Structure 1
Amino acid sequence: MNNQANWFREQFPYSAPPRVLFDGVEVPTAMPEHIFITDTTFRDGQQARPPYTVEQIVTLFDYLHRLSGERGVIRQSEFFLYSEKDREAAYQCMARGYKFPEVTAWIRAVKKDFALVKDMGIQETGILTSISDYHIYSKLGLDRERAMAQYLDIVEAAMAAGIRPRCHLEDITRADVYGFVIPFVQRLVQLSGESGIPVKIRLCDTMGYGVSYPGAVLPRSVPRLVHALRQETGIRSEQLEWHGHNDFYKVLTNAATAWLYGVGGINGTLLGFGERTGNTPIEGLLFEYMGLTGDQSVDTTVITEIAYYFENELGYSIPPMTPFVGKQFNVTAAGIHADGVIKNEEIYNIFDTDKLLNRPLGVQVTDKAGAAGVAFWVNKQLKLTGEQRIDKKHEAIQKMTAWVAEQYKDGRTTSLSDTELLEAARQWLPEHFQ
């Protein structure tokens, strides 16, 4: 094992954006037969927002259980055990008796904490095993040899306590894959075989440096990283997890790529909460999972319930353009788009959002909506279908459209509210309000 630090300066100059380098080498896809999701809403997710109360954690855990479905798509959820409140939340979630998600722990890499995990009856815990030279040399003040010895000592202590260790390979997309990552994982696989306790490996793209591009080089290439681990260490797909961050807008693409090349589990959080730019959003992962597997057992309408809970109970204002959960994600503002959805909503709706998310397609009425947008809004609001629908050429719609344009003559920049539009509809379509 090379004990010299490698900073990969050709890829990470720091004084400029990181470079994506290519050598043209590609590896085959190898998606596992069974892929799954794991949750870190109550660990990494809590590092990016005000702490949840115990009651809020239990409520969100119930939502995760419902989302997991009969097949256990969301297999595990990890918890801090630092404080009495953390432990109480874990206890209450365990008391629910759900098979999925299983409660797992995340502790400091110190031996005495394993007793705490065992006393609580938790079978698996995460352990931070920082893997890049940036962390080993600059943060921990170690070298590779001492870091490996320290990590293996902690893993052996977990196994001695009968606990499944889950090693979090922090900053793996800046690590020396063949010089340190693979030798370390080979030792972990060896220990696992000797002890009979399966070890898990979480590949942590801590800074979001991973890329999915064919022919990109290590350590940033997600395909080659996963392929190298599977080929060189013999670790099984169900023992591999991917944990990504969104610093370069690649968090969901990298997660799906990890699945495609042999990782069994993807780690995410509700609404993508996580340090800095956040983790892979579980709601996005669920739709990606359904697209890759064809599994339709997930009740995706629970996603909308979760969004309402965050907004109405937790006071979090979801950015309106956020896919699947934002107020505007399936709302069109352009008149030409509204004209299309009047004919067939599939033209401008990503899927049946009413069925899958309990979120019918909407139209935002501004001066850009035109008669088509006004007609769409009226028909949706009044629940008019088939022959009952009011055409955009109807006299009342034309009058409402003129009224809408009038509202923007003095420089208004906000969309018209439902209350304003209802008042106008009552004026020009009184027969529908009797």
Structure 2
Amino acid sequence: MYTIIQKIKLSTGDVKMREVLMNEKTNLLQLEEHFYQLVDVDEPNTFRNLFPYSEVPKIAFNDRIVPHNMPEDIWITDTTFRDGQQSRAPYTTEQIVTIYDYLHKLGGPKGIIRQSEFFLYSKKDRDAVYKCLERGYKFPEVTSWIRASKKDFELVKDIGLKETGILVSCSDYHIFYKMKMTRREVMNMYLSVIRECLETGISPRCHLEDITRSDIYGFVIPFCVELMKLQEEYKIPIKVRACDTMGYGVNFPGAVIPRSVPGIIYGLNTHAGVPSSQIEWHGHNDFYKAVNNSTTAWLYGASGVNCSLFGIGERTGNTPLEAMVFEYAQLKGTLDGMDTTVITELSEYFEKELGYVQPSRTPFVGRNFNVTRAGIHADGLLKNEEIYNIFDTGKFLNRPPLVAVSNTSGLAGIALWINTYYRLPDDRKVDKNSKLVTMIKEWVDEQYDEGRVTTITDNELVVQITDCCKKLNIVL
């Protein structure tokens, strides 16, 4: 450690030394940043230059780059039963337990899906919590989300949960316009509530609502510094969830805060001193950036990303949990034991039990996510499915690549449909020169010559193939 002879006098009268410290991860000497104090203001800072409201929001750059800092251990947390349940009809207790079982199986033995959060407001919610706790799973850990009140803290304690989420809105939009308070007033109130939570022995998870419109260094960082002081005092971990409530976050290097995801995570970790293992990102998809922003949070120092199944959540939804499973695998080079076939099982359960049908082109779960209609693509798939399939979807999702037969499918598309639908082994597969394929192609052409505009259905194809097989005296 090297100490620079520089003293900073704080407003409190204290003197702080700036020091040069060795970063053991990067092996570089770094200058300790200056001390951040709450900036109380008379008027709210709504960043009108970035959020004019009467115009599309602006993405500005100052080209200040922060380093990648992905933690050794990263994970997913689930909000299907909290944020996800706020935007749809409530799940029954039985449905919650079934989905929780699926999450446990999907997360694998290493518990990559680390936690699942629950409401505790109603008897139904509490019954679901008790039943999930009875499963005895280590992962996902059951955690809660409550109102910031002593009564609710006691409820968490009575149920036996170790941690709970608490809403701590942090933008001036919320502080001034919704809560009708000043920054100092709201900070003091939050710290008082969090201290009450700590007094009950419960670990608080502070949900920094609307962080992408907040004054990061004037409010968020000073507040989190105070949280770390409480953590040191009580010896109880305090997590910080950075909530991109309106989906304004961007992942572009050099973008300015408060929209910069790298800048937010860097500030929480480096300047507020929040350990990576206690930083979590919660994104919304208003600008189609939920997945990218969540991945970026991992890359710049957050261990956790908070997701919901299929992205079901407020307005445009949350970060889809299934998407982050595959983001994890791409970043880490391994699934670490996650069973991705459960994603297909969950999608089928949601459709059959809840009547929730995925949009057909949704990655990994949509009915047509790995279905091709173009004849030239089908020809490539017939020769080698790697040409037009993202990975072995049959292995990882129990969803082999398919083709939809139409006037553009061609002979190759029909051959591929037959081989896939009937699951023909290699020694029995048909190709585009097969007489059976030619007969089906002639029938398909007739359909469209007569004015048809819709795709040929599976049932129609089965009927025609059965009839042609009889005529050709073959069995598939």
The TM-score range, normalised by the shorter chain, is over 0.9
Q: Tell me which of 89, 106, 123 is aligned to 1:67.
A: 106
Say which SS state the counterpart of residue 405 (structure 2) adopts. Answer: coil
| AA aligned opposite 2:334 | D
Is 1:3 the counterpart of 2:43? The answer is no
**Counterpart mapping for 1:100-179 below 5 A:** 100-179=139-218
Q: Tell me which of 185, 201, 206 is aligned to 2:224.
A: 185
Counterpart in 1 of 2:262?
Answer: 223
| AA aligned opposite 1:317 | V
RMSD: 1.1
Distance 2:333 2:474 in 1: 43
Worse-matched range after superposition: 400-409 or 386-395: 386-395
Deviation at 1:418, TM superposition (A): 1.3
| AA aligned opposite 2:381 | V
Residues 334-379 of structure 1 deviation map (CA, whole Å, 9 limit, x = unaligned): 1000000111100000000000001111111111111110111112
Counterpart in 2 of 1:51?
Answer: 90
Counterpart in 1 of 2:22?
Answer: none
Distance 1:188 1:372 in 2: 63
Deviation at 1:181, TM superposition (A): 0.3
Distance 2:118 2:329 in 1: 26
Is 1:93 the counterpart of 2:132? The answer is yes
Counterpart in 1 of 2:63?
Answer: 24
Distance 1:170 1:400 in 2: 58
Counterpart in 1 of 2:408?
Answer: 368
Counterpart in 1 of 2:240?
Answer: 201
Counterpart in 1 of 2:431?
Answer: 391
Distance 2:243 2:270 in 1: 19
**Counterpart mapping for 1:339-354 below 5 A:** 339-354=379-394
Distance 2:299 2:429 in 1: 45
Q: Tell me which of 459, 462, 466 is aligned to 1:419.
A: 459
Counterpart in 1 of 2:447?
Answer: 407
Deviation at 1:186, TM superposition (A): 0.2
Residues 296-322 of structure 1 deviation map (CA, whole Å, 9 limit, x = unaligned): 311100111000000011111111111
Deviation at 1:228, TM superposition (A): 1.3
Say which SS state the counterpart of residue 63 (structure 2) adopts. Answer: coil
Residues 266-304 of structure 1 deviation map (CA, whole Å, 9 limit, x = unaligned): 000111110000001111111111111123311100111
| AA aligned opposite 1:393 | N
Say which SS state the counterpart of residue 354 (structure 2) adopts. Answer: coil
Deviation at 1:410, TM superposition (A): 4.1
Distance 2:454 2:74 in 1: 44
Worse-matched range after superposition: 375-384 or 311-320: 375-384
Say which SS state the counterpart of residue 201 (structure 1) adopts. Answer: strand
Is 1:286 the counterpart of 2:322? The answer is no
Say which SS state the counterpart of residue 345 (structure 2) adopts. Answer: helix
* Contact 2:400/2:420, CA 8 A, preserved across alignment: no
Counterpart in 1 of 2:118?
Answer: 79
Distance 1:275 1:381 in 2: 38
Deviation at 1:48, TM superposition (A): 1.0
Deviation at 1:413, TM superposition (A): 3.0
| AA aligned opposite 2:119 | F
Deviation at 1:2, TM superposition (A): 2.2
Say which SS state the counterpart of residue 408 (structure 1) adopts. Answer: helix
Is 1:326 the counterpart of 2:326? The answer is no
Higher relative contact order by CA 8 Å / sep ≥ 6: 1 or 2?
1
Distance 1:432 1:395 in 2: 11
Deviation at 1:387, TM superposition (A): 4.0
Distance 1:245 1:182 in 2: 22
* Contact 2:64/2:254, CA 8 A, preserved across alignment: yes
Structure with bigger gyration radius: 2
Worse-matched range after superposition: 3-12 or 393-402: 393-402
Distance 1:269 1:432 in 2: 48
| AA aligned opposite 2:409 | A
Residues 171-211 of structure 1 deviation map (CA, whole Å, 9 limit, x = unaligned): 00000000000000000001001100000000000000000
Deviation at 1:406, TM superposition (A): 1.7
Q: Tell me which of 348, 360, 369 is aligned to 1:308.
A: 348
**How many corresponding residue pairs?**
434
Residues 1-42 of structure 1 deviation map (CA, whole Å, 9 limit, x = unaligned): 222211101100101110000111111100000000101000
Distance 2:78 2:108 in 1: 14
Distance 2:340 2:410 in 1: 33
Say which SS state the counterpart of residue 178 (structure 1) adopts. Answer: helix
| AA aligned opposite 2:233 | E
Worse-matched range after superposition: 423-432 or 147-156: 423-432
Say which SS state the counterpart of residue 449 (structure 2) adopts. Answer: coil
Distance 2:63 2:229 in 1: 33
TM-score of the aligned structures, taking structure 2 as reference length: 0.90
Distance 1:117 1:168 in 2: 17
| AA aligned opposite 1:244 | G
Distance 1:350 1:429 in 2: 33
- Identical amino acids, percent of aligned pairs: 57
